[in-house]
Structure 1
């Protein structure tokens, strides 16, 4: 694995940084204050991404694809949609996490369709904005506790249940809904379904107010005898207790590195800005290297930069493995756990170091501290990631290690 940013990907990274600096940063506070207002400025960006993809580019969530076949050791190492996704997201979230989350047609549901969708589903929903609906009032970190049901009635699936904390649930064109075919079977019966917006029986009942990422809408959606075509199931409808619900969980192997990249981006933003502020106050020396004469702030700053670099490399490794057909569930959870925890620590510490300046609305530091917390919660909490990592390292099943 090459630890440097691949040369062919550098133009995309540079473009993402320009978007972060010239589009996201100027409107960041505006949409943090006006929660639930749609950022119309993102329409142009979405159109640009669409044009790049139609021209053969791979700059969207719909290209977070993977090949789980055995990799030929002699094959050339490649950097594809996953690596492009994490590198671009690091830069975008240097600008604003909430805005990055609400770019049209870049939802987590798009990544799910890319990961496990059929060619026909990718054709139908390839240009749609697809959200992801997993969490329920009684099923948060434990996805296997899902109680939303799906039953087959002729040529249609009938969905019933409630989903909460659906990112872009109101704005998206469709939603990937996790539901159980048979609650008595457990994890193996959990499947995911594509539900287009406006389908009878599907209703957005509430938009939540949040601590951070306010530019992104978060919805509660109720399904009451919601009927969708039989072919709208993602993956196989067969219940295989040997495979558990590994099929739907594949989505996380693609999306957790993306969340880790978000954490790396916002943490880097906080460190960059803090060094500017402290530098003006002469609290930082001119030598960037740690040494015996470094003060307490400089010493801690260097430690956190090292932690962030470790998170960045873990994130790149998880993406690289996905691009090269190497199973990456362990690495995806490691990257997500490390990056999210580091981002929380860095953004809060930066607010502390900058005192009243960092705590005030005149600076984005306080916003970044609020935004970063969600990255340690959604797509699997810190505790869930540590549990997954332990199971993988010890070779334990979910039943053996809870």
Structure 2
């Protein structure tokens, strides 16, 4: 069974993440919000914190615990890398989501590597900073519609295509690229390849200017006859029509709870700061009266805290299932859908409740509201998550329920 308190062995690591958020991220948060695309050099020394959080349990980066590594014996409960990453990032994102995303060696591509890589690949790539390149111009949230190709040529694959919105695409040591090995076979032919920085034929063409998470670089990358060793293909070369692209999609079972945790973190920060500012104005959130008998402001804070707690518990459940060998695809989508929506709702409502105080740059509340929007978009939009959940609950295929 799931125990809802923070596991004893993780409390020190969670506390370290909280201290980093409060004393490292927040003091430089506004600086890198204004200086978009500048690399936060202050983070280099703190990357070891997240490395320690991962290495304390097993190799890998954010959300990198493999489902197949979880223990099947229900009498041996395991809190592994998934739980560690979720709890740690929730705390770090109380400080700054963009800075959390740009910590060296904590890229979303690390989750893809750990989800489907073999032991030899884990040894080569496990400690590299890996970005993940899925989205393409014109294909948006439909991961199965990728048009980037990877054509086999002897012991190599030649990749051609363009990827956009690649988080840490310029700064990372490698990029995990989703490409099709045969366009005629549909989504079953989509494979993921590790392309290391500096590989001829891979070019960062631009960095995006964004609404939020400005401390994190978001790149567009073009691949022009980019030759990648066959050994860099993650998972099997075989194209299995029946299985589809379940192997590469397993990545999302790990990364969606990670994004949910980020959303929980930024929403937590907003509520905490709102309560502090309200208290300064004589509005103390004391929980002495039920919401229906309280003022509008107090009732809204109670509602937001209830929604946040629901999102937090769903996120913990999805991570716990991954660590304990239980298929969590539907729970991963539920946690991401709930937490992403809650983060948007909570951060904007906090700005609204505080009026000009929340809207101006004197407080980080307006920044948190801008940062929160991406958490409802990347790793699958709110609408995509609801569609995935509906398909699984109704046992419908993607062709049957669009």
Which TM-score applies when normalising by structure 1?
Answer: 0.96
Q: Deviations over 1:277-330 (max 9, x none)?
A: 111112345446535531011111111110110000000000000000000000
Task: For 1:2-401, list aligned pairs within 5 A.
Answer: 2-50=3-51, 56-58=56-58, 61=61, 64-68=64-68, 72-287=72-287, 290-291=290-291, 293-401=293-401
What is the Cα-based RMSD across aligned positions, in Å?
1.6
Deviates more, 1:279-288 or 1:371-380: 279-288
Q: Kindly indicate whether the alpha-carbon contact (under 8 Å) linking 1:207 and 1:219 is maintained by their aligned counterparts in 2.
A: yes
TM-score, normalization: structure 2? 0.96
Are the counterparts in 1 of residues 104 and 129 from structure 2 also a CA contact under 8 Å? Answer: yes
My pick for the range that moved more, 80-89 or 291-300, is 291-300
Does the C-alpha gap of structure 1 residues 238 and 61 become closer, same or farther in structure 2, counting only changes over 3 Å? same
Per the alignment, in what secondary structure is the counterpart of residue 15 of structure 1?
helix
Please list every run of 5 or more consecutive structure 1 residues that lacks an aligned counterpart in the other structure: none
1:361–1:161 CA distance, 2 compared to 1 (3 A): same
Q: CA deviation at 1:50?
A: 3.6
Q: Distance in 1 between matches of 2:67 and 2:145?
A: 29
- CA gap 1:308/1:60 in 2 versus in 1, 3 angstroms: farther
Shift of 1:399: 1.1
Q: For structure 2, which runs of at least 5 residues remain unmatched after alignment?
A: none
Question: Contact between 1:108 and 1:130, CA under 8 Å: does it hold in 2?
Answer: yes
Q: How far did residue 245 of structure 1 move? A: 0.5
Query: Secondary structure of the equivalent of 2:93?
Result: helix
The alpha carbon displacement at 1:71 in A equals 5.8
Residues 17 and 49, structure 2, Cα contact 8 Å, conserved in 1: no
Give every structure 1 segment of 4 or more consecutive aligned residues whose post-TM-superposition deviation is greater than 2 Å: 47-54, 56-60, 67-75, 283-293
Please say if residues 291 and 298 of structure 2, whose CA atoms lie closer than 8 Å, have aligned partners that are also in contact: no
Q: Could you say what secondary structure the match of 1:191 adopts?
A: strand
Residue 397 of structure 1, CA deviation: 0.9
Mark the CA change 1:348 to 1:163 in structure 2 (over 3 Å): closer, same or farther.
Answer: same
SS of alignment partner, residue 61 of structure 1: coil
Distance 1:52 1:100, change over 3 A: closer
Deviations 1:231-282 (A, max 9, x none): 1001111111100100000000000000000000000000000111111112
Q: Secondary structure at the match of 2:225?
A: strand
Q: Which moved more, 1:147-156 or 1:291-300?
A: 291-300
Q: Do the aligned partners of 2:54 and 2:81 also contact (CA within 8 Å) in 1?
A: no
Query: In structure 2, the residue corresponding to 1:205 is in which secondary structure?
Result: strand
- In structure 1, C-alpha distance between the alignment counterparts of 2:100 and 2:52, rounded to whole Å: 18
Give the C-alpha shift of residue 72 in structure 1.
3.8
Local SS of the residue matching 2:399: coil
CA drift of 1:132 comes to: 0.3
CA deviation vs aligned residue, 1:343-398 (integer Å, no higher than 9, x gap): 00000000000100100010000000000000000000000000000011011111
Q: Is the 8 A contact 1:58 1:84 kept in 2?
A: no
Question: Is the contact between residue 57 and residue 80 of structure 2 (CA under 8 Å) also seen in structure 1?
Answer: no
Distance between the aligned counterparts of 1:67 and 1:274, measured in 2?
Answer: 38
